Structure formats: C-alpha cells, structure tokens
Amino acid sequence: MNKLLVFLIVVGFVTEVRKGVADGISWDFNVPETSILEVSGTQADRLISPEGNHSIWYEAGTSTDRKAWIYKDTLRMSLYNAAIGGTKGRAQLQLSDLSATQLVQDVSVYFPSGLSAYQSYPSSNGWFTLAEYFMGALGTENRFRVTLSLVKSTASELYFRVSGDIRTGGTAGNGIWQEVWSDVYDNAPISLGNWLTLTFGLQTGDDSSGKFILDATDPITSATVRLFDITNWTYHPSATSPIPVTSYNPLKLYTSKSIIDWINSQGEVTEIVFDNLTVQGF
C-alpha cells in the first residue's frame, strides 16, 4: 500500500507508533448493490480492493442458505440455514498464506435489532464467532487460534468474549480445541441497532509478550472503551519457536444450527453488517 500510515496503538504498557509504508487491505464496500458474493462451490467471488483480492468462504450451501452481500454500501453476512453438515453455518472473509507477527484492524460493525431473537435464546451460548486468527496452517502440529465471539449470557444479554485455544484433534472444519485463556467484557451489554467501530491489535508471543487488544468507539460521540487488554499466549505453548498468524478472518459470522434455527423461529435472520474495513500488518 503506497501510503503514509500512522497508527497509535496502546497495548498494555507499550505505546507503538507505526510510520511509513505498510502492507494491508481496505474496503468501503462502495460497489453495486446487486453484488452477491457467490459462485458454485464454497468460495465466493473476489472482493474488489485496490490492494488485492481476498475471498469470502462459506464451506457449504448456496445463497439460499448463507450469503455475503452488498446493501447500502455495506457488507452484510447472513445465515438462513445450517448448510454445513446440517450442524452449522458460516460466512467469512478469508485472508490466507500469511506470516504475520502483528496485525491491526479497524472495522465498523452494526448489530441489527433482529438479534434480539438471539437474546431470547433459552440458554447461554458461547459459539457466535465475529473474527478469528489462526497461528499454524491447517493440518500442522501446534495450531493455535484467537477468537472474538458474541456470547449470550443466562440473563439474556450479549457480550464480547475473546479466547485463545490450542487444537487437540478433529478434522478440517471440525477441530477439537482446548481453551488456554479467555475473557468476557461484561461491564456493559452490547446495544443492538447501533454502529460500533472496533479496533483490534494482535501481537504473537508467549505468556509475557503475546498481546490482544480490542477497543470500541461510538461513532456519534467518539467515546472509546478498552474492552480487552490481554497479555498471554498467542501461539501454541508447546511450539519450540513462535508461530505467526497464517490465516485470518477479520469478518466472520459462524454459529450453530440451534442458534440459526432459533433466530429463524422468531421471524428474524442471523445477520451482521460490516463497513470500512482496514487491516495492516501482513
């Protein structure tokens, strides 16, 4: 990206200013509203970006089951059915073949009022993924992930949760994971029907140098809240040397059949809206 970039990121005790030419991607999704990102198979048409092309990945189904689509210059991800083996559904922006030790992301996120149906789900739920980093390629040893989720509490509130997990088994697309650390921001529930600007920062490292931060900014008041400031493992603790981020889903909607079906039963759609995405660091 041939631009001068300046980023101020507060990560615990570290204040880092990045200046100079940085690699990255950015989209404002200002493309024709008829665009539905869909082709036969599992991978969608390439998103148009001046810095390169990256794909939407669904794993299974057709646009009647799930789709990423442009509406009023935003990117909407919608799940209608659990098309993946009848157990889950996904739509995600896929950035692959990376080797990144630091990543910074800004994105505007809108949580539709229809997610009140998720709030009424009759039990708590931890599986509703919004973004995910993977350290180590699929099928390799010592794979690790950092996941941001929209979790539902027993008190019918929605909160952000972040976790770091090691892969212990399973198959492609159906991994078995064990939690190493996690945190829930439960100082205030997520407000539906409003935009938030989320700023992510991740640095690969061990339990004293690995970092994950997440800030949320109200675009109307410009008030910013630090949701997470994690210092912990961001690669597998058993690895003999640090493992970089090898793939990344900066935009993701991934959840179970039970959640999709429940939201459908309430006359709503499992859906998240994104805009103004910028990712730097790879």
* Single-letter amino acid code for the residue at 56: I
Q: What is the pTM of this model?
A: 0.87
Burial class for 64, CB neighbours closer than 10 Å (0-12, 13-18, 19+): exposed
Place of tokens 């959640």: 259
Nearest CA to 58 out of 69, 43, 47 is that of 43
Q: What residue ranges define each of the domains in the chain, with the CATH number in brackets? A: 24-280 (2.60.120)
The Cα 276–Cα 174 span in angstroms is: 31
Strand-pair category, 270-280 with 144-152: unpaired
124-148 pLDDT tens trace:
999 999 999 999 988 888 999 999 9
pLDDT at position 58, please? 87
For the CA atoms of the chain, what is the radius of gyration? 18
Q: What is the DSSP letter of 193?
A: T
Rounded distance, CA 229 to CA 205, Å? 14
Handedness of CA 32, 248, 278, 150 (dihedral sign): positive
Task: Report the pLDDT value the prediction gives residue 63, as an integer from 0 to 100.
Answer: 86
Determine the pLDDT at residue 42: 47
Q: What is the mean pLDDT of the chain?
A: 84
* pLDDT tens, position by position, 58-107: 888 888 999 888 888 889 999 999 999 999 999 998 888 889 999 999 99
Considering 110-114, 171-175, 275-279, the range whose residues carry the highest mean pLDDT is 110-114
Average pLDDT over residues 211-234: 96
Mean pLDDT over 188-211 rounds to 95
